[in-house]
Structure 1
Amino acid sequence: MLLTIGMASANPAARPAAIGVSVLSLLAWNPMRLTGVGLDYGLDEDFARTRLLWLWDLANPLRRVGPLTLSGHMELAMGQTAPSPADLTLGLTPLLEWRWTNLSWAPFIETGLGANYISLTENRQRSLSTHFQFGEVLGIAMEYRDLKVGLRYQHLSNADMVLPNNGYNFYGAVLSYRY
C-alpha cells in the first residue's frame, strides 16, 4: 500500500494504476469483511450516476413464506452524479431479496430504503434543499453462481422535509459479485 502511495505522488500519470492496486489489495485483505462488490449505473433525464458498491450479507435466509425466501444484504454505495459539476454521493441501504425457494436461476425482486448524502443541493436547476436524502430501491435481478445482474429504479429525495424537493429518479443496471 505504501508503495502505491509513493507511485502516485512521484508520478501523477501512475495515479489510476496506484488506485487500482490499492483497491485490489484491500479486497484481497478484506478488513471490512465484505461479502461482495459491485457497480451501479443509472440515468435520470439530464443526469447519469455511477457508483461502486460494497456488500455485506445479512443472516440468510431471513424468513420463508410459502414458496418464497426472504434474504438480503447491506449495500454501501459511493459514486458521483454527472454532468459537471459532479455531485458526490454516499449511501447505506439494507436491501431485501424475495426469491422462489427452490429455483436458484429464477429472477428475484429486491427492495430497500436507505440513507444517502449528496454533496450538491442545487445542480442544473434541480433543487434538493438538503444534503441528506432518502433512497428507495426497487429492482429485478438474476443471479448465476456468484454473479448478479439486475435492473433498478432508485428514487432519491428528502421526503419533503424541506422544500423544494425535486429529487432524482434513476433507472439503471447493477452488476455485483459475491465471494
Structure 2
Amino acid sequence: MTQRKSVLRAHLVRGALGALCAFGAASAHADTWGIQLGPGVADNDVKKLDLGLVWDPGLQWWHVGGFHFTVVGEAHVAYWKLDDPNAIYPNTWEFGATPVFRFIKDAGWFRPFFEAGIGVRLLSHVRQTPFRTMSSSFQFADMVGVGAQFGEHQNYQAGFRFQHISNADIKKPNPGLNFSEIYVQYNF
C-alpha cells in the first residue's frame, strides 16, 4: 500500500512539473473568469448538478492548423442525488478543482474544442447504499469532453463531458462513478 502511494505521488509531482514547464513556454493574454452550470447522470441512479468557477489565464501554445493548446482552472461544487430506494445518504456534496487542458480553434465567432483534465474531489458522504461505498472522501476526477466557445466576445460556452470519479485504489472497495454531463458557461 505504501509503495502504491509513493508511485501515485511521483506521478502527481511529474504532472505538476510538466504543467509548470508548459506554462513557462506559453504566451500570455488577458485572463477571463466564467461561471459554469452542468447537470449530469451516472450509473447506480446518481444524478448531479455541478456549479463551477472557471479561470482562463489566457495562455496559448503549440499553434497547429488554426488551433492551439490552452489550460483553464476550474473549481467545482456539486450536489449528488441518489434515487436508489436503499440509499443511506441520498444527498452528497462534492468539492474540488481541476486543471483542464484544451485544444481549441484560434479565431472566429464559433470555436470548437476538445478538452481533458484530472483533478481532485472531496465527498461529504462515501456510503451510498448498504452495498455500495466510495470508501474514501478523497477522490480523483478525470474527464474528457468536447464543446465550443461562441459569441462576438466569446462570452458563451457549451459542452459535453464524460467524467470518472474514483479514489485510484487508495482504499477499497473502489467502485467509482461514471458521469455523463452537459454544461453551459458564461465568461465575463
TM, length-normalised to structure 2 = 0.72
Cα distance change of structure 1 residues 34 and 76 upon mapping to structure 2, 3 Å threshold: farther
The 3 A distance-change label for structure 1 pair 57 and 118 is: same
Would you say 1:128 and 2:134 are equivalent positions?
yes
Aligned ranges for residues 61-100 of structure 1 at < 5 Å?
61=60, 63-67=61-65, 68-83=67-82, 85-100=90-105
What is the one-letter code of the residue matched to 1:51?
D
For 2:182, the equivalent position in structure 1 comes to 173
> Could you give the per-residue CA deviations for residues 12-53 of structure 1, whole angstroms, max 9, x where no partner exists?
xxxxxxxxxxxxxxxxxxxxx971101021101210010111
**Offset, 1:126:** 2.5
Query: Cα RMSD over matched residues?
Result: 1.7
TM-score with structure 1 setting the length? 0.76
User: What residue in structure 1 maps to residue 122 of structure 2?
Assistant: 117
Partner amino acid, structure 1, of 2:169: D
Structure 1 gap segments, 5+ residues each:
1-32
Of 37-46 and 96-105, more deviation after overlay is shown by: 96-105
Confirm or deny: 8 A CA contact 2:166 2:174 kept in the other structure.
yes
1:138 partner letter: V
Alignment coverage as a number of residue pairs: 146
Q: Is the 8 A contact 1:34 1:54 kept in 2?
A: no
User: Is 1:108 the equivalent of 2:113?
Assistant: yes
